[in-house]
């Protein structure tokens, strides 16, 4: 079942839907001052899927939350974020509420902690539709049913009156997707939406997200640390390490020609069909403490190709090929 046509005017193919320039996020209090995102820049067109790839703590989720300005008062954010013509960092709170859900929406990592436990699934979806589109309660409930059917929830009518704790993990994740799609956003943010699910359900959710993305024409940013997931859903990949993009390119460019030692390490340590019976290599060491980043390249202490100039200054982005770059002194 398809939902009714988009109300918004879609951007032209030449105009990026999302533009991020020199994004920096720092969490500061009396006891700590931690830079979490350190100068991220990218753009995303209508219908494109960008995958943020990297180990836990690399800044992927914080980058995503910046696109909706979902931060505590301890966060200090700078740079520029433009989504569909909206200056996200300059919007008032009321205008920000108006675009959350309607222009940009998010599927959170764990639906059990993101869905409200005291309201039914149907009422939570309907509330979003009533707020953003001024629909009546009846219209909103019909939309909620339509959305649950769209994300292939079995016995959708019965699930409308169910509470989150009454659903399985896979059904909760589908309900979270339905809630995120309720007002037909132009940009969908998916923060590791399959992490807590078993392998079979993961595949179902990934295929569903990709199908809905094509059907509704949404741009999507997908966060994962799983290279297999990236290959399934992405058009482009940005590899993050210590709050920076260390490599960017199309999924084919990055997977076939990984140019940053960190990307190469991730690929070597990933299980796939061709490594049966072979011991996997690991990346030595651990990600750096963001409060005490090393001088120069943050990956240098773990890199097997390190040389003296790696520790002197943060490497600039070097061009590997058209649309493919890596932040490494060995490239270029």
For residue 228, name the pLDDT band (cuts at 50, 70, 90). confident
- Burial class of residue 179, CB neighbours in 10 A (0-12, 13-18, 19+): buried
13-103+185-272+281-289 fold = Rossmann fold (3.40.50)
- In whole angstroms, what is the distance from residue 262 CA to residue 302 CA? 9
3-state secondary structure of 18: strand
**In the prediction, which pLDDT does 108 show?**
86
**In the prediction, which pLDDT does 9 show?**
38
The tens digit of pLDDT for each residue in 61-86 reads 999 999 999 998 889 999 999 999 99
Strands (E), 200-258: 219-224, 236-241, 244-250
The tens digit of pLDDT for each residue in 177-191 reads 899 988 889 999 998
DSSP 261: H
Count of beta carbons in the 10 Å neighbourhood of residue 311: 13
Percentage above 90 pLDDT, the chain: 64
Least confident of 57-61, 222-226, 301-305: 222-226
Tell me the average pLDDT across 307-312: 92
Nearest to 232 by CA among 43, 107, 53, 18: 53
Count of beta carbons in the 10 Å neighbourhood of residue 315: 23
- C-beta of residue 10 within 8 angstroms of C-beta of residue 46: yes
Check whether 140 has a pLDDT greater than 90.
Answer: yes
- C-beta of residue 16 within 8 angstroms of C-beta of residue 43: yes
DSSP 26: E
**In the prediction, which pLDDT does 170 show?**
85
The tens digit of pLDDT for each residue in 85-125 reads 999 999 999 999 999 999 999 998 777 788 999 999 999 99
Tell me the average pLDDT across 314-330: 94
The tens digit of pLDDT for each residue in 13-56 reads 468 999 999 999 999 988 888 999 999 999 999 999 999 999 98
For residue 141, name the pLDDT band (cuts at 50, 70, 90). very high
Q: Where are the domains of the chain?
A: 13-103+185-272+281-289, 118-184
Tell me the average pLDDT across 266-287: 78
**In the prediction, which pLDDT does 83 show?**
96
**In the prediction, which pLDDT does 11 show?**
40
**In the prediction, which pLDDT does 203 show?**
77
Strand order in the sheet with 219-224: 104-107, 187-191, 219-224, 49-53, 236-241, 244-250, 324-326, 318-321
Which residues, 6+ apart, have CB-to-CB distance to 27 below 8 Å? 33, 34, 36, 72, 74, 75, 76
Tokens (6 digits) for 225:
């640390």
For residue 225, name the pLDDT band (cuts at 50, 70, 90). confident
For residue 1, name the pLDDT band (cuts at 50, 70, 90). very low
* DSSP bridge partners of 13: none
């Amino acid at each position: 079942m398809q939902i009714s046509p988009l109300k918004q005017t879609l951007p032209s193919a030449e105009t990026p839907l999302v533009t991020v320039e020199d994004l920096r996020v720092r969490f500061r209090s009396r006891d700590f001052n931690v830079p979490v995102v350190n100068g991220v820049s990218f753009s995303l067109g209508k219908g494109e899927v960008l995958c943020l790839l990297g180990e836990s703590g690399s800044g992927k989720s914080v980058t995503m939350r910046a696109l909706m300005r979902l931060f505590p008062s301890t966060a200090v954010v700078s740079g520029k974020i433009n989504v569909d013509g909206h200056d996200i960092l300059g919007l008032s709170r009321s205008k920000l509420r108006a675009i959350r859900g309607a222009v940009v929406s998010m599927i959170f990592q764990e639906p059990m902690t993101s869905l409200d436990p005291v309201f039914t699934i149907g009422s939570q979806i309907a509330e979003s539709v009533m707020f953003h589109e001024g629909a009546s309660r009846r219209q909103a409930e019909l939309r909620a049913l339509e959305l649950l059917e769209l994300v292939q929830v079995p016995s959708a009518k019965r699930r409308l009156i169910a509470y989150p704790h009454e659903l399985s993990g896979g059904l909760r994740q589908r309900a979270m997707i339905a809630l995120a799609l309720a007002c037909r956003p132009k940009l969908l943010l998916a923060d590791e939406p399959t992490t807590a699910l078993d392998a079979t359900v993961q595949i179902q959710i990934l295929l569903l997200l990709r199908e809905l993305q094509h059907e509704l024409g949404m741009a999507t940013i997908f966060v994962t640390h799983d290279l297999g997931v990236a290959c399934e859903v992405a058009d482009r990949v940005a590899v993050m390490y210590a709050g920076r993009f260390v490599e960017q390119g199309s999924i084919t460019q990055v997977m076939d020609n990984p140019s940053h030692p960190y990307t190469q390490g991730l690929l070597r340590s990933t299980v796939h069909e061709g490594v049966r019976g072979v011991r996997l290599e690991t990346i030595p060491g651990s990600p750096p403490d963001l409060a005490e980043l090393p001088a120069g390249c943050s990956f240098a202490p773990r890199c097997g190709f390190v040389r003296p100039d790696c520790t002197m200054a943060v490497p600039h982005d070097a061009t590997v090929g058209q649309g493919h770059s890596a932040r490494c002194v060995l490239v270029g």
